[in-house]
Chain A
Amino acid sequence: MTALPRVTTADQARADAGFHRALVELLYQAADDDLILAQRGAEWLGLVPHIEEDVAFSSITQDMTGHALALYQLLEELGEGQADHLAYFREPSAYRCAVLAERPNGEGTYLDSPRFDWAYTVVRQYVYQRFKRLRLEAMVKSRYQPLADLAEKMLREQFYHLYHWEVWMKQLTGRTEEAQRRMTEAWTRVLADAPSLSSLGPGEQEILSSGVLPWSLEKPFRQALEESARSYGLPAPNAWTMPEVNGRDGRHSPALPPMLEHMAEVYRIAPAGAW
């Protein structure tokens, strides 16, 4: 079988309806994951365990938002509308983020008596970055050259994001009984949502057959999680059951709509952070 030729421009992508549809679908998934999980990260500002972590976490959050915006820019070139609008003013059902990204940080909100769960945050961010590494590695081999180029650049930055959470995983596991209990509990909750990340949604077949992604992400992701479980002394992932609502088809948990409303409100007040 000969490899399909590379698609080097947005115009070429738009000329092939099937390829275009699959590409747009994947870009929304990746952009929305980064944007929404970065927002969950931003809610921790001023609440994390120490000042150094505040600096690090907000840097990572800023990078993730930047990655999301770069992906929305690709969507803009593909005729989807203005990047900022795509980020902040779509209907909840138009978002393709995995349900794992939208889960609340804990009880309360960051404005009103937050009782956030740091163990859950560490495990969720770690698992997401572990997954994102695999998705970026696959994107580097995408038939869509602008995405492959962007992914190559993102990988270099993302290295430090994953590393940051690996350090936390190492610090919080295998130490005290209390920490291990909390981490195990968080790990179990995150694992229940993990299949939503590697799901490519209803367009999965087309995303793979058109070469938008060269391979499915599920198998390498499951392997990576098994390795993580071994190295951090956490229970091995067993069942791989899709959560009832996974996000990739536009159906989301009740946590997403109020989040989007809040983000749009902030954006209206200070478009693009008003640099």
Chain B
Amino acid sequence: MSEADLQSRVMAALDEVMDPEIRGLSLVDLGMVERVEVDGGQVRVQLIPTYVGCPALGLMKADVERRLAAVPGVESVTVEFLRKPLWTTDRITPRGRERLKAVGIAPPAGSGPTEHWTPECPYCGSTQVHRENVFGPTSCRSIFYCDACRNPFEAIKPV
């Protein structure tokens, strides 16, 4: 198998490693995979951490190691977290944004922290929403309420 083949198998496998805190969203969807290097059977994956103190990072690293070890042709796996570039919410891919909506989480409106932002309700698409709490079940999410369809929903905070 050529290195290019192995590279694409590794990428496909990474796309199966899910964010432990948001079901159905892969590390690729989140824009966390910065670089994958394949040298013979040795694979080096460079990830960008979403939050400095994200408690799921250790788990993600272990999941990547486990998943890639199962890819035929992979002999060893090294996973590194990079300090640069910075992870910002505009790194979430278009597919990632759709997947977020599918689990009832509004994708971020833009990037960069701000006091006021208006996400679209993931259920009905309305922007007639108001924020209930800046912090949700994890520090990357806020709680909103949709005044149109009267559903509470979570939204990814822009960072």
A residues contacting B by CB (< 8 A) are 52, 55-56, 59-60, 62-67, 69-70, 146, 149-150, 152-154, 156-157, 159-160, 163-164, 167, 272-273, 275
Contacts and interface: CB of A to CB of B under 8 A. Distances in A.
A69 B97 CA distance: 30
20 contacts: A52-B143, A55-B137, A56-B135, A59-B139, A60-B135, A60-B139, A62-B55, A65-B53, A66-B51, A153-B83, A154-B52, A159-B113, A159-B159, A160-B135, A160-B139, A163-B115, A167-B134, A273-B55, A275-B55, A275-B58
Interface in B78-132: 83-84, 86-88, 112-113, 115, 132
B141 to A, nearest CB: 9
A55 B138 CA distance: 8
B157 A67 contact: no
B138 A150 contact: no
B84 A149 contact: yes
A59 B138 contact: yes
A275 B86 CA distance: 24
Size bracket of the B interface:
20 to 34
Nearest to B159: A156
B52 A150 contact: yes
A159 B142 CA distance: 14
Q: Which of B56, B58, B83, B159 has the most CB of A within 10 A?
A: B83
Contacts of B135: 55-56, 59-60, 160, 164
B42 interface: no
Given A52-B133, A275-B59, 15 more contacts: A56-B134, A56-B135, A60-B135, A63-B139, A66-B52, A66-B53, A70-B53, A150-B52, A152-B86, A153-B83, A156-B159, A157-B53, A163-B134, A273-B55, A275-B56
B136 interface: yes
Nearest to B58: A275
Secondary structure at the B interface, as helix, strand, loop or mixed, is loop
Nearest to A159: B113
In the A-B complex, list the 7 residue pairs whose CB atoms are closest, starting with the nearest: A66-B53, A159-B113, A56-B135, A59-B139, A59-B135, A149-B83, A156-B159
A159 B135 CA distance: 12
A60 B51 CA distance: 12
Given A59-B135, A146-B83, A69 B157 contact: no
A110 to B, nearest CB: 20
A62 B86 contact: no
A116 B58 CA distance: 34
A62 B134 contact: no
B55 A63 contact: no
B83 A150 contact: yes
Nearest to B138: A59
B53 A153 contact: no
Interface string B45-67: 00000011111101100000000
Contacts of B86: 149, 152-153, 156
Contact of A55 (B83, B133, B157): B133
A39 to B, nearest CB: 14
Contacts of A52: 132-133, 143
A52 B157 CA distance: 16
A74 to B, nearest CB: 10
A168 B155 CA distance: 22
Contacts of A154: 52
Contacts of A70: 52-53
